[in-house]
């Protein structure tokens, strides 16, 4: 990831920084990380259509 990413987390997130995912969009990719680990933690990257499908499934579950 050479480009700088802008990370977002849910407004429902714990104000103490716990139990949260942060998500950053890039062209055709979505980057996900654990907010407790911060920028030095591992990042999971997936294709944007796969992320969209995952979120759609969550909304129907």
List pLDDT tens digits, range 20-59: 889 999 989 999 999 888 888 999 999 999 999 999 999 8
The more confident residue out of 41 and 19 is 41
| Domain ranges (residues) in the chain | 7-60
Neighbours of 22 (CB within 10 A): 21
Residue 2 predicted with pLDDT over 60: no
Residue 18 predicted with pLDDT over 70: no
pTM of the model: 0.79
């Amino acid at each position: 990831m050479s480009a700088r990413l802008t990370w977002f987390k849910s407004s429902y997130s714990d104000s103490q920084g716990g139990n949260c995912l942060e998500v950053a969009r890039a062209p055709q990719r979505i980057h996900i990380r654990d907010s407790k680990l911060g920028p030095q933690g591992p990042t999971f990257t997936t294709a944007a259509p796969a992320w969209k499908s995952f979120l759609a499934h969550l909304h129907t579950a």
